[in-house]
């Protein structure tokens, strides 16, 4: 088993390494995952619109937070899919369940995003 890249690292060097791994993950998501690119672009557009519209601070905060959450959930969904595919490319009911659950999490998150936009626009 491969040793953890963090083993023995402390302080600032650990933080710098962790940042590098996180940036690698964002880059991998952007290069390899169309859904990540789509929710990221949706987030950028939605956040810009949230700051252009005359929304109250609470509405802007929930809309921005909901957009960020969709990006986070898509990263986790993509990680689940990659881990399942790494384990085996054969069809298996547990692999399907894992992928479907990740997809369902994103669906719930996008539903939440739509609800937050509705509250921000019409909940005054």
Q: Which residues are catalytic?
A: 74
Q: Which two tokens stand for residue 103?
A: 């997809």
Of 73, 72, 75, the C-alpha closest to 32 is: 75
Q: For residue 3, give the DSSP letter.
A: P
CA 9 – CA 27 distance, rounded (Å): 24
**Helix, strand counts (H, E) of the chain:** 4, 0
Contact status, residue 6 vs residue 14, Cβ threshold 8 Å? yes
8 A C-beta contact, residue 36 and residue 75: yes
């Amino acid at each position: 088993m491969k040793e953890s890249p963090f083993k023995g690292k402390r302080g600032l060097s650990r933080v710098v390494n962790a940042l590098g791994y996180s940036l690698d993950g964002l880059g991998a998501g952007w290069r390899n995952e169309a859904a990540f690119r789509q929710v990221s672009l949706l987030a950028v557009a939605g956040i810009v619109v949230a700051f252009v519209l005359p929304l109250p601070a609470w509405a802007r905060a929930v809309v921005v937070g909901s957009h960020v959450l969709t990006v986070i959930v898509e990263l986790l969904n993509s990680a689940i899919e990659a881990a399942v595919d790494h384990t085996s490319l054969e069809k298996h009911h547990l692999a399907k369940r894992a992928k479907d659950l990740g997809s369902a999490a994103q669906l719930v998150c996008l539903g939440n995003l739509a609800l937050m936009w509705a509250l921000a626009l019409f909940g005054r």
